[in-house]
Structure 1
Amino acid sequence: MKQILPFIFFFIFFQSLTGQLSDDFSDGNFTTNPVWSGDIDNFIVNSDGMLQLNTSGSDTSILYTTVEIPDSTVWEMQFRLDFAPSGNNRLRIFLQADANNFSNVNGYYLEIGESGADDALRLFRTDAGNNTEIATATIGALGNAPARAKIKITRSKLGNWSVFANYDGGNILNLETTAFDNTYLGGNLFFGFWCKNTSSNAQNFFFDNITITSLLPDLTAPSVTQITPLSLTEIEVSFDEALDSLTAVTLSNYLVNNSIGNPQMATWSSANQSTIRLTFNNAFTNQTSYNLTIQNIQDQAENTIISTTIPFDINFEAPELIEVVATSPTELELVFNQSINNITASLSTNYTINNNIGNPINAELDPIEPQRVYLELATELVNGTPYLLQVQNIKNELGIELVSQNFPFDFLIAESIEPNDLIINEILFNPKTGGSDFVEIYNHSTKFLDISDLLISNTQRTTGRDKEVEITHILRPKEYAVLTPHLDHILENYTVNNPDVLFENSLPSFNDASGNVSLFTTYGMDTVMIDSFDYAEDFHYPLLDDKEGISLERISFDAPTQSRSTWHSASTLIGGATPTFKNSQLRPTTTYG
């Protein structure tokens, strides 16, 4: 079987004889300060200021320089591999080697890449090419694409090794593993990267922020960076470095004022060693300030925090009822702004409706969308009647209680639309340049009517004449609804007294000279005309200098729609149109025969 030869790269970085290496590639090159030598055509500093593998074939490339590495050393850097590492796509970071022939050297290296999904940072010692694993970080942490980490490796003069890493882009590194090996110490050595890849990953290795420094003792105590309330009984305390696991979970090291006291539990995790979760028996009070006193906490170098007091606020958003929908005469759907506690949501006594409805006989929280509650009523709601729902004692999942609310709602069930129940009340068919048409509908009946049952048409067109009304909205008697393809134009150019009844919906095209607007509904297979108006430009007031942007208004609800005398240009004094409210030209009711 023909094999694809993996592509192998060697990147060697410069370090001066002072034992200090620092390169973040912000200068945009790798030829000065420090100087890199070797096969420089096979990599670049990219537009993000990172060193990037940049080749297009199977080859081996080497870049190298000597580095005066201290006996006590800190190696730090970031890398990203835009693939899932494997045996054929892997990275070796040579921390130190006694020759630039990395296949047969003495020293230490990290390796990322192996068969399966257990890829981890693994620390090896190499003795003339014979490799011995001496430490392994978190198994599987680098098993998926992208495999990335910010790492720090320390080695003391005695041979004590520590591997620190962060895999999610953060700046706080966790202690991953420790080891002991004093076979080789510092000296005038080589530092570099060895990249093995198939051709598909020839540009998918990235490196940045590389430093080699002397290991200095950590003399700085940890400090608190943030306190985050998680619930009324839990807070999370974040520190600026990894903590000692024993002192971090000692309960007497934490104290909260206002009778909260010591926590009953302190949780430290090896996956996030700089964060402690504290759980208390006594609950916090929402919208209240507290002080947390911390003492005797140590970092992993045994530096002890000075007793300190940090203020924090408990400030959770309370639940709020935001919508009530009557889905039948005996059923309500309630929507809250957040998930609700099941016990309080299910208590029928927490809900009361006026007009002799009282408490529901059943209250049920939606198991899939826990911000929704369904109420079942014993007494039927009356169509068209306004109601008031009182809600109290409801809590969210954190135990925060809702402020008692009185929420108004209507019970409206639409009836069948018959001819002249809804009438065309106003039309803008010749908008200003770049503007939008609109049609206003008026409920001239005593019924509750759903405009989504309508079809709006221009019967004088042969194509594109019909548009469905896609808005579900029930009009009460004597209410208006305005349909327009572009809400913004209407809002910007006219006074809109009732924006809640201005709806964006497609309309048929209306010619400027003349045309038609008609309302239809369907009864089964039958289509019934509800109202129809044949308009013409010369219906406008003859002394108007410019008819663009001026609507035609009905002057009487009782006048026949198809009568020219029923229509008049809207007053220019009110802006040329009155969408959503009383027409400027409306006359007292007149009997038409």
Structure 2
Amino acid sequence: MRPIIFILHFVFLISSYGQLTEDFSDGNILANPIWSGDTSKFTVANQILQSNSRVVSDVFYISTPNQITGDAQWDFWINLQFSTSSANYTDVFLASDSQNLTKTQNGLFVRIGNTKDEVSVYELRNGVQKLLLDGQDGKTNNKEIRIRVTCEDILLQLWVDYDGGTLFQNEGSTNTYRTGAGYFGILVKQSTASFHQKHFVDDIYAGPLIKDTLVAQVTQVDLSADDQVQVTFDDVIVNTELTKYTLSNGYGSPDNVTSDLNSNKVLLSFSAPIANGTYTLRIQELLDIKGNRGDTTVAFTVIKAIKPKSGDLLLTEIFADPTPSFGLPEEEYIELYNNTTQALDIENCTFSDGGTPALLPKTVLMPYSFIILTKAGNESLFSGYGQTIGLTGFPALNNTGDNLEIRNSQGELVDAASYSEAYYHSDTKKLGGYALERISYSTACADIDNWSASKNTSGGTPGQQNSLFGADPDQDPPQIQSHYFLNTQELRITLSENLKENLAKDLANFELVETSENPINIITNSIEKTLTLTFASPFELNTIYHLLIKELEDCKGNTLQNTVVLVITTTSAHEGDILINELLFNPKEDGVDFMELYNNSDKYLRLSDLLLARYDKVERKDEKQMTYLDYILHPHHFLALTKDTVTLKSQYNTQHILQIASLPPMNNDAGIVLLLDQNGIILDSVPYAETQHFELLSDVSGVSLERTNYSGKSYNPMNWHSASTSAGYATPGFQNSQFLDLSKQNNSYTFVSKTFSPDGDGYEDLLALHYQNEENGYTANGYVFDLAGTYIHQPINMKILGTDGLLSWNGILSNGTKIPVGNYVLLLETFNLNGKVDKKKLAFSVVGLF
């Protein structure tokens, strides 16, 4: 006969009509399911049931029908946001024989709180309350708690996760028998106002037992120390001697296995450090808290992350000006790159622009991987591009430039970038919408040579290899572009690209050939690509020197040996030193203006010391600085200035021409152009007019006015003439076609040439008379006669003469025709106010076919 077992505890027959599932997602307690009782004293906020009574010392409830047949399970989440006590607790009725929970005679409930601040299970039988399961004390104050009660056969068990999750620990069990009840409900007891509206309940389940028949599974494997592996399960496990752990790769069984009570973590200690690699952990005879036993296997990879040091973690992309967008989110970001073969632990690394640093959270960056840093809240905008962190305190990146730093958790500088608009190398892309990309991760180049605007059509490559990575086709060594003496001891050199730092600062790499002298100091400017050399001995003015640079090598290894640079000390220009020598003010329809300068001195003159301008009535206007031009005009050399050298070359023979930003506007009919020094002092002034052109030219478009000699006054119309036909109507950058060399004349009144041919071919087109007087004040008249004595023309009419000058005639008679070929005499009469009169006959010939 079977033994009779006497049951020591009684519980209710839980006969059921169904199950209850309630998460309050509909925001309603009056339907689906229907709750009754003190419904006005409860509300639903954010899909969570919340108490809503403001009555002091109140007891209130809600309940809903619920009956369960057979094995049962009750789950719910509760959060009491106060310190529980005997006057402030909550009872969750798993079963009650009354809809009104305050009148329950027979039932089962879980009390959360009370004097001991515990989770406990009570029964009510005939109105008498009895403690069945007593949970841990001091666990219910201001906490999220998830509770599960199970009844299987006659075994009643209490499970609690005091962190509000699903990692339950067993708080006790008891044997019982069953009796009937028909309602599930929540009863709140509260005292003063400080406890009001602070009871929250959610995720309710009351129904058939959901049996857990699977052994606990591994959810995570961590390396807690070099020789320790921590295994985390999805349930509390029971660490017994029967459980066997075996690690692959020759490690075998651990030397020690430890686990805290009611824990889901096991610590395995080995005698040797765990190396990087992929492992398999085999677990046999595992027993979890639900009594499930079995074997399991988990594979995991060990990658030991190290703290970054200098050069390990690189700044590779900067998106400082996201507007306008070409495809990227309109928010700022930077990109970091792990430049090592090891994982980097970047927790507590900082990013700053000199202000309060932004702290990086716990993060591991895998080898040769990128991570995007942006402002907290923008993570979702960039997560599709790759691993992203949103930083609280992410600094605002200045559009025009900033100094960025990445430091490790010890405060050591890991990488930095000091960018400016020049880093874009593009006047268009610097306006916004394009990221700065690092070109090379390992280079000897200065920062400005290793960054540029992205060439990706969307504006950048966050989280990916940069569009410019390795894109450096430069195979040319640095070139000297210009030089400039700052004073008598400092020489500034501008290069096409920066030198390697060690060469740029090597005093012995630079030598002045004439004196065999090395500089005593060198200042580098990688942004401007300049070197400023200081010498101990002063330079002589207006002198040519030769600077030997022994090695010109850029950061890519392109090298040029023993380069000799011509450097010239210049002096200031004065009136007469530099002349406006030729003007094209009425260009062809598709042509451009130009202005030619001539250095009429023995000085070396720097173009950047000069200005161009024009007079408009009595006002000086349109001053054009040339400080950006580092050009030296040598003694007795020509230089034509224009805004379009390509067009000028296509229309004329040219020699020394230079493109500048713009010339002062020159009207086609007439105007006055000026050449000034930096102090605004006039060095030359030329009034010009269309009427100064050779009279027989049918079209003067595209024909320049040329100065005929350097000693004549610039304002004298007779010192200017149309460029010759044979020269192509202009001579930009070389000697004028109508130039007359007066230096060969010795007599007081002599022809430059005794023959002339007014045919516009550029050769002897003018009859030019050079005069020299012992004093000023003479006036001249000149009359042309043929050999028969017949009067032909008066080319000189009351001309006031100086002490030295030139009188010229283009051969045009009063009736507008040219003087015929033949031999002629010029009768020249000169007189002054003192009554001195001089007459001279000078023979000349008109030659040619016209």
TM-score, normalization by structure 2: 0.37
Q: Does the aligned pair in 1 maintain the 2:401–2:421 contact within 8 Å?
A: no
Cα distance in 1 between the residues matched to 2:41 and 2:421 = 57
**In the TM superposition, what whole-angstrom CA distance separates every residue of 1:90-124 from its partner, at most 9, and x where no partner exists?**
11112212222425522222222234xx4121122
Aligned to 1:106: 106
Q: Does the aligned pair in 1 maintain the 2:91–2:109 contact within 8 Å?
A: yes
> Cα–Cα, structure 1 residues 498 and 53, in superposed 2: closer, same or farther, change >3 Å?
farther
Aligned to 2:82: 83
Match of 1:150 among 146, 160, 163: 146
Match of 1:264 among 255, 269, 280: 255
- Return the offset for 1:74: 0.6
> Cα–Cα, structure 1 residues 87 and 256, in superposed 2: closer, same or farther, change >3 Å?
same
Aligned to 1:241: 235
- Asked if 1:73 corresponds to 2:69, the answer is no
> Cα–Cα, structure 1 residues 499 and 585, in superposed 2: closer, same or farther, change >3 Å?
closer
SS of structure 2 residue aligned to 1:237 = strand
Q: How does 1:570-581 map to 2 (within 5 A)?
A: 581=526
Q: How does 1:158-169 map to 2 (within 5 A)?
A: 158=154, 160-169=155-164
Q: Which runs of 5+ in 2 are unaligned?
A: 1-13, 312-342, 350-397, 404-412, 425-429, 439-444, 449-482, 499-522, 541-850
Which residue identity is paired with 2:255? Q
Cα distance in 1 between the residues matched to 2:97 and 2:244 = 48
Q: Does the aligned pair in 1 maintain the 2:492–2:531 contact within 8 Å?
A: no
Identity %: 23
SS of structure 1 residue aligned to 2:194 = helix
Q: Does the aligned pair in 1 maintain the 2:243–2:285 contact within 8 Å?
A: no
Which residue identity is paired with 1:259? G
Cα distance in 2 between the residues matched to 1:437 and 1:23 = 57
SS of structure 2 residue aligned to 1:200 = helix
Aligned to 1:276: 266
Aligned to 1:287: 276
**In the TM superposition, what whole-angstrom CA distance separates every residue of 1:62-91 from its partner, at most 9, and x where no partner exists?**
322322133421100101111222233211
> Cα–Cα, structure 1 residues 252 and 196, in superposed 2: closer, same or farther, change >3 Å?
closer
Match of 1:127 among 109, 112, 125: 125
- Return the offset for 1:44: 1.8
- Return the offset for 1:210: 0.1
- Return the offset for 1:435: 6.8
Aligned to 1:209: 203
> Cα–Cα, structure 1 residues 586 and 239, in superposed 2: closer, same or farther, change >3 Å?
closer
Which residue identity is paired with 2:266? I
- Return the offset for 1:587: 6.9
> Cα–Cα, structure 1 residues 581 and 45, in superposed 2: closer, same or farther, change >3 Å?
same
Aligned to 1:525: none
**In the TM superposition, what whole-angstrom CA distance separates every residue of 1:129-162 from its partner, at most 9, and x where no partner exists?**
432222222222223x2x221111112332x221
Aligned to 1:50: 48
Cα distance in 2 between the residues matched to 1:257 and 1:211 = 43
Cα distance in 1 between the residues matched to 2:221 and 2:401 = 55
Higher relative contact order (CA 8 A, sep 6+): 1
SS of structure 2 residue aligned to 1:227 = strand
**In the TM superposition, what whole-angstrom CA distance separates every residue of 1:24-72 from its partner, at most 9, and x where no partner exists?**
112222222111123322222212x111122433355432232213342
Q: Does the aligned pair in 2 maintain the 1:89–1:198 contact within 8 Å?
A: no
- Return the offset for 1:197: 4.3
Cα distance in 2 between the residues matched to 1:218 and 1:582 = 69
SS of structure 2 residue aligned to 1:102 = helix
> Cα–Cα, structure 1 residues 17 and 319, in superposed 2: closer, same or farther, change >3 Å?
closer
Cα distance in 1 between the residues matched to 2:247 and 2:533 = 72
Cα distance in 1 between the residues matched to 2:217 and 2:402 = 63
- Return the offset for 1:316: 1.3
Cα distance in 2 between the residues matched to 1:178 and 1:287 = 45
**In the TM superposition, what whole-angstrom CA distance separates every residue of 1:490-541 from its partner, at most 9, and x where no partner exists?**
86659998569xxxxxxxxxxxxxxxxxxxxxxxxxxxxxxxxxxxxxxxxx
Cα distance in 2 between the residues matched to 1:135 and 1:240 = 25
Aligned to 2:300: 312
Cα distance in 1 between the residues matched to 2:29 and 2:422 = 60
> Cα–Cα, structure 1 residues 126 and 252, in superposed 2: closer, same or farther, change >3 Å?
closer
Q: Does the aligned pair in 2 maintain the 1:64–1:190 contact within 8 Å?
A: yes
Q: Does the aligned pair in 2 maintain the 1:556–1:589 contact within 8 Å?
A: no
Which residue identity is paired with 1:31? L
Cα distance in 2 between the residues matched to 1:233 and 1:21 = 49
Q: Does the aligned pair in 2 maintain the 1:70–1:186 contact within 8 Å?
A: no
Q: Does the aligned pair in 1 maintain the 2:60–2:188 contact within 8 Å?
A: no
- Return the offset for 1:488: 6.9
- Return the offset for 1:186: 4.1
> Cα–Cα, structure 1 residues 186 and 261, in superposed 2: closer, same or farther, change >3 Å?
farther
Q: Does the aligned pair in 1 maintain the 2:146–2:161 contact within 8 Å?
A: yes
Max Rg structure: 2
Q: Does the aligned pair in 2 maintain the 1:73–1:213 contact within 8 Å?
A: yes
Cα distance in 2 between the residues matched to 1:585 and 1:292 = 63
Aligned to 2:746: none
SS of structure 1 residue aligned to 2:231 = strand
Which residue identity is paired with 1:166? D
Cα distance in 1 between the residues matched to 2:208 and 2:401 = 75
Cα distance in 1 between the residues matched to 2:214 and 2:52 = 41
**In the TM superposition, what whole-angstrom CA distance separates every residue of 1:298-322 from its partner, at most 9, and x where no partner exists?**
23443321x3332222221246655
**In the TM superposition, what whole-angstrom CA distance separates every residue of 1:237-294 from its partner, at most 9, and x where no partner exists?**
2222233x2xx3326621112221212222232232x3222222x3244212222111
Match of 1:137 among 130, 135, 138: 135
Aligned to 1:411: none
Q: Does the aligned pair in 1 maintain the 2:243–2:286 contact within 8 Å?
A: no
SS of structure 1 residue aligned to 2:139 = coil
- Return the offset for 1:23: 0.6
SS of structure 2 residue aligned to 1:41 = helix
Q: How does 1:332-351 map to 2 (within 5 A)?
A: none
Q: Does the aligned pair in 2 maintain the 1:71–1:185 contact within 8 Å?
A: no
Q: Higher mean Cα deviation, 129-138 or 313-322?
A: 313-322
Q: Does the aligned pair in 2 maintain the 1:251–1:263 contact within 8 Å?
A: no
Which residue identity is paired with 1:111? R
Q: Does the aligned pair in 2 maintain the 1:174–1:270 contact within 8 Å?
A: no
Cα distance in 2 between the residues matched to 1:137 and 1:46 = 29
Q: Which runs of 5+ in 1 are unaligned?
A: 1-14, 324-336, 340-370, 372-433, 440-472, 474-481, 501-553
Aligned to 1:302: 291
Aligned to 1:171: 166
Q: Does the aligned pair in 2 maintain the 1:92–1:111 contact within 8 Å?
A: yes
Which residue identity is paired with 1:169? G
Cα distance in 2 between the residues matched to 1:290 and 1:23 = 43
> Cα–Cα, structure 1 residues 28 and 319, in superposed 2: closer, same or farther, change >3 Å?
closer
SS of structure 2 residue aligned to 1:313 = strand
Which residue identity is paired with 1:581? S
Cα distance in 1 between the residues matched to 2:30 and 2:420 = 57
Which residue identity is paired with 2:148? K
Q: Does the aligned pair in 2 maintain the 1:249–1:267 contact within 8 Å?
A: no
Match of 2:182 among 188, 191, 211: 188
SS of structure 2 residue aligned to 1:298 = strand
- Return the offset for 1:438: 10
Cα distance in 1 between the residues matched to 2:182 and 2:525 = 84
> Cα–Cα, structure 1 residues 489 and 320, in superposed 2: closer, same or farther, change >3 Å?
closer
> Cα–Cα, structure 1 residues 269 and 241, in superposed 2: closer, same or farther, change >3 Å?
same
Which residue identity is paired with 1:304? R
> Cα–Cα, structure 1 residues 257 and 489, in superposed 2: closer, same or farther, change >3 Å?
same
Which residue identity is paired with 1:202? H
Cα distance in 2 between the residues matched to 1:130 and 1:152 = 24
> Cα–Cα, structure 1 residues 172 and 567, in superposed 2: closer, same or farther, change >3 Å?
same
Cα distance in 1 between the residues matched to 2:260 and 2:23 = 32
The count of aligned residue pairs is: 358
